[in-house]
Structure 1
């Protein structure tokens, strides 16, 4: 493929590596997959939080400042607008691509749809969730919910193609839009180059559980703080390490004060740093709070820990439950402190062997590597560009 023939793909997202999180890793894998197929890839994104650095792949990344909330998130109307408004002009004046890929939220999708209509460019929506379902789950009602639902439906219906990370997401999108065609399930996974059993570990930290990721109403990470409070006194040498940010962070810190230094909240850090903790953790922690519109979601936090060899304690429902139980990947509990506390005590009493850690990592590499997701997504994006959605 000559340089002139190379397809030109622009990825528009408020999150991209080295920022941590499922979306950032997923889009990095997509960019790599596209570049491997000879595409010229340009990523339009934000500046990551201070202290996060990392090399780009074989693609160009354009970064711009963005407003973040007190927890460091690009989450909320003002934060979204601080990305979306500049994005309109950045897309409008940038070299014309053959296709644009956009991630949620729907406000960003609306900007991409508008510019793509003006410039006659097809776009693909990469959906890890359905924002209107999630909004309804956390209590959004009335005109705000109706507007969000209309916007998301309009953006999804107009897309040349939609990439869904799971069958549950695909079904949600189909129900919302009425689309039967052009919704492609590309799967979900974890960056197994970063999250692997090989590399630095943290044996000097002693015995500890690790939660790493967003702390919001949807994840319900507070269940782990409340559960740890039930076992902390009887296990004074065990700690709970909470890495990340989110709207519930300050409330969780307040709830943990009574437990003392056994619970530690640490700021967001690089994936490689988190992986070093997973390699020594007694277990990784992940949850999807039931009834919040995300019961169909995969908890990629579990997959990240598993890829580094840490068994998982998973609280909640959804597809992770069957996956963990069938493949003996850890312990599934109800989303309540008493059930999670029992799981924690079981892990403390019977820590997994090094051989089992190796098994967990190998299984994750074989079944949930983001490389395959990026390759599947790249194939679909290029097909949509050619009108074969």
Structure 2
């Protein structure tokens, strides 16, 4: 019997933001490829009230179709009102109010069996309200900032906890994330670890020298893949560069924090050794990973970063901070180094890998257990149990 799944995700790519939540999209595609699953995606888009909505930055979002076929899936993109920088907790109410008529109509046409919320906030509390309105169970997945940030804020912590308590099942992107949830008082037995996947056919070994030549890189290269935001720790990488005189630092990602990083690099005299690649299309990342000697991402918090797994799949060792599922991934010296969030410690970790490069096949072996096939198997099994009123395996 086919399971009719409503996937709710505020992190989902569109034509104007092809990299936005690409890992959620890939998970949805894997699930939808199963004969036992029918997936409808609702990816709400927050828009500020007029006249703020007329700002140029919102023009691409205004132009998006409200319903489309996106890589063999039906995706709805209803809008809901937000208050930029201050909305937070009000987004739950405004999103629910905006999308509930659509959800009711779709449910009347073909009843949903279960709701799969892809992120804990605001998706989780919204799924809770939709569940009550439709009379069907829901599951929520914790990925990182949704627990570490929204689950810690006074205005939203209770909403996150309530959504967890009333869910029929929960997922966590790593065992470390599961422990963080348990420390919040969330029932441990309800939480199943659900690792991300990586496309091992796309993220594969390639000749590093040839990749460097093709991209115009020279000498040792450290790559950072992540949005340019303070939490991702690029400032610490810039501060580490004076201790790595021969290394070029490349940053793949975009964000307003770039201005701060550029100013700091100039002050430290390392600006000529930093390259800003902007938002790199996901299908072009493998070649950049292949050209890098090290991938460094020293975030203040993570669940289990896709960039970690993708780099390893390309045979590129990683230097990362001791956050989230870091120790679940770096389970052998060849995979890389877990370091303190300190410029000198970061530099030492990068230099150690440059001085003694690990065998790239061995590096890649670390990522082989993270497949999208396994990810889809676990998710389908979990949602089937939730829909049938059974206790999902932890």
Which of 333, 347, 350 is the matching residue for 1:344?
350
Shift of 1:159: 1.0
Distance in 1 of aligned mates of 2:281 and 2:387: 33
Query: Match for residue 324 of structure 1?
Result: 330
The residue number in structure 2 matching 1:59 is 73
Question: Which residue of the partner structure matches residue 147 of structure 1?
Answer: 155
1:386 is aligned to 388
Distance 1:131 1:333, change over 3 A: same
Tell me by how many angstroms 1:239 deviates.
1.8
* CA distance in structure 1 between the partners assigned to 2:31 and 2:39 by the alignment: 10
In structure 2, the residue corresponding to 1:272 is in which secondary structure? helix
CA contact under 8 A between 1:35 and 1:59: conserved in structure 2? no
Q: CA deviation at 1:126?
A: 1.3
**Contact between 1:162 and 1:182, CA under 8 Å: does it hold in 2?**
yes
**Is contact 1:194-1:271 (8 Å) kept?**
no
Gaps of 5+ in 2: 46-57, 62-68
1:210 aligns with 2:198: no
Corresponding residue of 1:20: 19
Counterpart-to-counterpart distance in 2, 1:69 and 1:265? 31
Distance 1:26 1:209, change over 3 A: same
Say which is worse superposed, 57-66 or 100-109, in terms of deviation.
57-66
Pairs within 5 Å for 1:44-193: 44-45=42-43, 56-63=70-77, 77=88, 86-95=98-107, 96-129=111-144, 131-135=146-150, 145-193=153-201
Q: Which runs of 5+ in 1 are unaligned?
A: none
* Cross-structure match for 2:361: 358
Q: Deviations over 1:261-296 (max 9, x none)?
A: 32122221222212210011111112232xxxx47x
> 2:3 is matched with which residue: 2, 7, 20?
7
Residue in 1 that maps onto 2:240: 227
Change (3 A) 1:25 1:76: farther
Give the alignment's Cα RMSD to 1 decimal. Answer: 3.5
* 2:155 aligned counterpart, secondary structure: helix
Higher relative contact order (CA 8 A, sep 6+): 1
Matching residue of 2:262 = 253
- Kept after mapping to 2: 8 A contact 1:285/1:301: no
Counting only pairs closer than 5 Å after superposition, residues 232-247 of structure 1 correspond to structure 2 as: 234-235=245-246, 238-246=247-255
Cα gap change, 1:175 to 1:347, in 2 (>3 Å): closer
CA contact (8 A) 1:11 1:101 kept: yes
Q: Measure the CA separation in 2 of the matches of 1:185 and 1:102.
A: 15
Cα distance in 1 between the residues matched to 2:273 and 2:154: 44
Secondary structure of the residue that 2:199 maps to in structure 1?
A: coil
Does the C-alpha gap of structure 1 residues 322 and 116 become closer, same or farther in structure 2, counting only changes over 3 Å?
Answer: closer
Normalised by the size of structure 2, how large is the TM-score? Answer: 0.78
**Number of residues paired by the alignment?**
357
